[in-house]
Structure 1
Amino acid sequence: MKRKSLEDSPCAIARALDTIGDWWTLLIMRDAFEGITRFNEFQKSLAIPKNILSVRLKGLVTREILEVQPASDGSNYQEYVLTDLGKDLFHVMVALRQWGERNLFAEGEGPVATLVDRERGRPVGTLQLPSDDGKALQLADTLVAYSR
């Protein structure tokens, strides 16, 4: 069954999901944020079938989230490197990570990895949604204002 495209949806969330909304793509992005750049590294890390990985990477390149560059070590390989558009997904990935850490592990169980501040080596704080004056907002403090 062919998936329905949401690329022309008036909803920003629907368009974002059309671009990055399957779990293989999000796991590829997780690995890209952790510094993986080569096809075989993604394949080994994810244990993903090569044909699926190839399609997902091509889609990320087509949508300019990753770009293909010659290997940085001068070899004949190519690398998949985050673009500015791809780097802009960082907060989305951190939000997913933190939600999973808070809600998807049993008490006493925890994730195998923690996101830390590179300079200090300390865990990053919880993402918050600030208002324009700095107040931390919760769901009840917000609403979606439609322009049309």
Structure 2
Amino acid sequence: MASRIRLEDRECPLSTTVAHVGEWWTLLILHDCFDGYTRFDQFQENLGISSSMLTTRLKALVGDRLLERRPYQTNPARHEYVLTDLGRSLRPVIVALAAWGNARLAPDQRSMILVDAATGEEVEPVVVDAATGRRLDDSEAFVYTSGPAAGRAMRTRYPRDVKERP
């Protein structure tokens, strides 16, 4: 039997990302961090996660440099988990995932909505091209091409010249 390819060993950036944040507890812990939670007991109480699973996920988030573990008390030793710049850069991804989930619910079924902090008005997050402001939800208008580090399989799947796409 052939061994399975680990996601983080694949060339695709989506596979690499999923290897780091694809586990659902990870996304929920990060979501709590964006809401200001930093301490083990806060995560555990809010999420209802077992201490062993929380310990495992926090260690992975620190190892992936998405969170930083900092002491806040010496006797007994206690640590908090603070988002790094890399971790903070995931906020738009998590906001987009929540928005995708909410878009499939009737407005009266949503338990959480994103609002403008200044006005309190509900907002609709979308992913746009920074240069043009065009929405990226049109799969015909935006396609992948191989990047400079692409291997043979990636170059075959995503030709550099978009006119060569199947």
What TM-score range do you get, normalising by the shorter chain? 0.7 to 0.9
Please give the per-residue CA displacement for 1:39-65, whole angstroms capped at 9, x wherever unaligned.
011001111111000000000001100
The structure with more radius of gyration: 2
Question: Would you identify which runs of 4 or more consecutive aligned residues in structure 1 move more than 3 Å?
Answer: none
* Pairs aligned (count): 143
Please give the per-residue CA displacement for 1:85-132, whole angstroms capped at 9, x wherever unaligned.
0000011001101000001x2x35322222222233322332132263
Hey, what's the Cα distance between the residues in 2 that align with 1:90 and 1:118?
Answer: 16
Q: CA RMSD in A?
A: 2.2
- Please list, as runs of the form range in 1=range in 2, the aligned pairs for 1:96-107 lying within 5 A after superposition: 96-103=97-104, 105=105, 107=106
Q: Is the 8 A contact 2:71 2:77 kept in 1?
A: yes
Q: Tell me which amino acid in the other structure corresponds to 1:41.
A: Q
Q: Is the 8 A contact 2:29 2:43 kept in 1?
A: yes
1:141: which partner in 2?
141
- Please list, as runs of the form range in 1=range in 2, the aligned pairs for 1:23-102 lying within 5 A after superposition: 23-71=24-72, 76-102=77-103
Hey, what's the Cα distance between the residues in 2 that align with 1:71 and 1:115?
Answer: 31
2:112: which partner in 1?
113
Q: Tell me which amino acid in the other structure corresponds to 1:43.
A: Q
Matched residue of 1:32: which SS? helix
Matched residue of 2:68: which SS? strand
Gaps of 5+ in 2: 148-154, 156-166
Sequence identity of aligned pairs in percent? 38
TM-score (norm 1): 0.85
Hey, what's the Cα distance between the residues in 1 that align with 2:47 and 2:9?
Answer: 31
Gaps of 5+ in 1: none
2:123: which partner in 1?
124
TM-score (norm 2): 0.77
Matched residue of 1:81: which SS? strand
Hey, what's the Cα distance between the residues in 2 that align with 1:113 and 1:81?
Answer: 23
